[in-house]
Chains A and B, each alone.
Chain A
Amino acid sequence: MTLAFLGGLGDALQFIVTKSEGPGGAQVGGSQLLPLLREHLLITLVSVAIATAIALPLGTWLGHTKRGSFLVISVTNAGRAIPSIGVVFLFFAALGAGFFNITLALVLLAIPPILLNAYTGVRAVDPEAVDAARGMGLTGAQILRQVELPLALPLVFGGVKTSTVNVLATATLGPAAGVVTLGDPIINPSSYGDAGRLGAAIVVAALAIAAEVGLSAVQRKLTPEGLRLSERAASRRRLLSISKRRIAPTS
């Protein structure tokens, strides 16, 4: 199969599907990409799992007690302002190359979105639902587990989704710090050539979009039936442009 008529893009696609000899002399592309893909997915999975184990309990607990908004906002802002490349290079400079060291950097990058969404998700649960649960005699822990968490689940999972997509993107920097991920053809084009670099960019982009689309589908599945119904009703109202007018003054 030759895709030469597509020019540079054809070469890149060819790189993705078939193995060939790269400019460095080694075999690159095609099945040779699989170990890179494996490493890429592994470091993403491990980092997001660790970050979730830390940020999810903390965020839900803070949201349940309605405390620590300052902490959550600070962590979120810091997470946005600190460049990912800075964190990866800092861990590389301080701890050296290695899977574990870069995982730590990615964990730090994955924490803020999970923390923020767990916090806001639980905090934004309808207080009337919580009141009703309390009136039924549920304890704090039961309210958190049986009412707040299920209702907050779509938002909570949204945080995990955001972090996963972010980490998938940042893991591309891995080869700059000694972890051979799918970013290798991008960071070290001398052994892969231009076709390899473009090919890897296409694979990384496709991977991120697939993760976003797939996890969004999971997120919809996780939305409780009741919430889904009320959302549908709201969007139908909007479609029929029967905007519910607030008659009472808003302030």
Chain B
Amino acid sequence: MSASLVLAQAGGGFFRDRSKVDSCVANNGFCPDWIVHHLDRYVSPFWQHLFLVVVSVGLGFVISFALALAAHRRRRLVGPITQVTGILYTIPSLAFFFLLLPITGRGNTTALIALTAYTLLILFRNIVDGLDGVPEEARDAGRGMGLTDRQLLWRVELPLALPVIIAGLRVAATTTVGLAALATFAGAGGLGDQMASQKEFISNIAVGGGLCVLMAVGLDGLLLVAQRLLTPWTRVRTA
């Protein structure tokens, strides 16, 4: 293993020689040349991974949003919902997949149910916290302007809660990228599938893991940009 690391540190020029590349690959080392020539095999797992993340965070958001609105009106629901989503969040994903397997079988459905379940706690908590954080004066002002409860929610409370809600979405998205790497055990593919197929090969693990990190950073950045665009008033204050 140390030999392969030395080879890897020697840099790209070293690998012009075909046999050196082959020996690096044979040693399961970190081989930049191999990576450059085999990136194409990560393309479709990457899209599948992104599909799993986007669909489960999207579904999770819709469910948590409905739960949070219900809990916002009836405070009594906050405790029980937090406990149930907390238990779902605690179940190890690997176990979750295999608990679902007899019911939903191998494939996307199993992976999506488990991954969606994980986002619920984070998203629910942040939406409730965001709504709780709305200053009472803002609500009073809205009521004074003659807004109904429904209008108050959509025009005053939700916009003011948006930064906290998006912060929750960012955590949920990055966490789900990492968890979706385990979807391979549910037979749902993704980058984890690619990693598990050659788990002794450092180059393969590094590219698969690296792409996961890139995806997480990319989604995080997108959500941050979305927040800036959706809450222009926060920019005015800081500028």
Contact B75 A95 (CB under 8 A): no
- Work out how many contacts link A and B, with CB atoms closer than 8 A: 134
Interface residues of B in 165-224 (CB under 8 A from A): 171, 174-175, 177-182, 185, 191-192, 195-196, 199-202, 204-206, 208-209, 212-213, 216-217, 220
Known interface pairs A86-B195, A169-B94. Does A92 touch B1 (Cβ–Cβ under 8 Å)?
no
The docked-state distance in angstroms from the alpha carbon of A238 to that of B135 is 15
Q: How many interface residues does chain A have, given as a range?
A: 35 or more
How far does the Cβ of A156 sit from chain B's closest Cβ, in whole Å? 20
- Residues in chain A near residue B177, CB distance under 8 A: 81, 83
Cα distance A8–B204 when bound, in Å?
37
A-chain residues with CB within 8 Å of residue B208 when the two chains form the complex: 86
A82 in complex: contacting residue of B28, B90, B136, B209, CB < 8 Å = B209
Is A23 interfacial (CB 8 A cutoff)? no
Residues of B within 8 A of A251 (CB): 237
Secondary structure of the A contact surface, majority rule: helix
Report the Cα distance A77→B219, complex, angstroms: 13
Check: A212 CB closer than 8 A to any chain B CB: yes
Q: Does B95 contact A (CB under 8 A)?
A: yes
Query: Is A208 positioned at the interface, with any CB of B under 8 Å from its CB?
Result: yes
Binding site for B on A (CB under 8 A): 8-9, 77-78, 80-87, 89-90, 92-96, 165, 168-170, 172-173, 176-177, 183, 186, 194, 197-198, 200-202, 204-205, 208-209, 212, 238, 243, 245-246, 249-251
Q: Name B residues whose Cβ lies closer than 8 Å to a Cβ of A.
A: 1, 5, 28, 75, 86-87, 90-99, 101-102, 135-137, 171, 174-175, 177-182, 185, 191-192, 195-196, 199-202, 204-206, 208-209, 212-213, 216-217, 220, 237
The 12 listed contacts between A and B (C-beta, < 8 Å) are A77-B174, A81-B178, A85-B182, A89-B195, A90-B202, A93-B200, A186-B94, A204-B94, A208-B92, A209-B90, A212-B86, A246-B137
A86-B208, A87-B209, A246-B137 given; name 7 further pairs at CB < 8 Å: A8-B102, A81-B178, A90-B202, A90-B205, A172-B94, A194-B102, A205-B92
